[in-house]
Structure 1
Amino acid sequence: MTVWTADRIPDQHGRTAVVTGANSGLGLVTATELAHRGAHVVLAVRNLAAGREAARRIGGDVEVRELDLASLSSVRAFAAKLAADHPAIDLLINNAGLVLLGPRRTTADGFELQLGTNMLGHFALTGLLLDALSAAPAARVVSLSSITHKNAHLDFGDLMYERDYRAAPAYGRSKLATTIFGFELDRRLRAAGSTVVSTLAHPGLTRTNLTPRAWEHRPRLGRIIAWAGLLATQPVGQGALPQLRAATDPTARGGQFFGPARMGETRGRVTEARASRDATDPVIGERLWAAAETLTGVSYL
């Protein structure tokens, strides 16, 4: 069996790739690999200083642009300027994610922060960039899922988790919503006869900077969690491979979902992953899509 590694990424010269959350973790690895294979990579980041440092480390043909997925006004401004400067976009990798522990917080638009950042911000961004994606010959949108989506269920009567809020289940719901979005986007692109392809990926259990940041309010416990994580997780370079394959493998199909192969999809070589029943249910997909359009004010497909 051939193991898929970053060495199998095809030449990316002449292609424009947008990676959200590209200044650290999975996004930094993804942006680095694409840039080193010739792509023009847009680092879409909330923190411009961190983005500029990432660009310095990556080298190659990269640019840094400010994007706060927790603000629809920021998403709209970013998309408008990007599409004006890059009329054709080949890759949109919706990588950025937020993990919270502690009390419930909201976005600038009043959404529960994890759902608003992880899914609704990317839903709006994808819709606003769809014309530019459609202008490229074989564009892809990659949605970053998580194995936590498998134990989650959406409550359409309380999408913003205002009742009995718990941060960890809220994260799982946000990643389920992201996964539903990726599959529903694929169905709608196919129905529209679009040349744009929607794929999905998840990193298994990977050492990123998200978990330490989630424990900022309890640093001592956070250090214990971090040390335990070193034993239970795989390196970030390995964790980024599923989304790199989803973005660049010439044989990848619309709606294909990649993740690690071993130990309950937590680590190991890249293979086709299994999504939950809710994630692939077209009825749930249509319902979430309608809710996302209403919440964000962005309609497409």
Structure 2
Amino acid sequence: MSEFEDWTGRSQSVTDILEPARSNALDVALGGEGARRAGDEIPLLHHWLYFWDVKPPAGLGTDGHPAKGGFLPPVPLPRRMWAGGRLTFHKPLLLGAEVTKTSTITAIKEKTGRSGTLVFVTVRHELDGGDGLAVSEEQDLVYREPAAGSLPAPVPAPAPAASWLETVDPDPVLLFRYSALTMNGHRIHYDRPYAMDEEAYPALVVHGPLQATLLMRLATRNLDAPVTGFDFRGQQPAFDGAMLYVCGEPNEGGAEIWTQQGEAKNMVATVRTGEAG
């Protein structure tokens, strides 16, 4: 990865207003009432709905993502996914506030896995709502080789045994609405022929950030103490056409939570309460 050494340490800042309508739209799409107003605390992870990176048609790749280069390095691997992340919540962000997000590339690493060459790019984000650091976040992006063969569809199975359990139908409408609310043009989430024929998935892919948001929603509904930390990692894709179980087990410091289709866990996460790290 020596050719991308110049990208490590690159930084950019963008500012957006956390207008309530976008957050409320996601809340309604997930079955909520969408009644929050300016001045209310934004639900955790709803900051992902803002800071859009809107490109003209000429600035898009064939997968619907912004074309490679610019802030992120032009890694010469065709498949790009959000693999996981780590967040610390220092203080609430308020709807209606003007927030600045400063992003810095902190690491670029190449690894070899069962599916071939992988390149991980870690980006640190710091969000400031005008009174100091509110959210610090690390995102792990993974670039992969073309698929060697089609992935299998999830095999139906009974609901997992979990202390907390919700069932979500990740149908194409929900996936489209989340793509629209996040300005995520990646075609694997709404273009079935592309997802199946070009990237060898068995169906539309459920967004990793959407799964993380469902997990956070489950945790905040069930925990008595405020969430101060959240670490999550994708283990394998989830797809439309099968129910997605959103599961949790509380523990002394928060909870272990995960999404599951069939027998396989798709995303695993840890929620922490107490003082922010």
Q: Structure 2-normalised TM-score?
A: 0.30
The structure with more helix, counted as a fraction of residues: 1
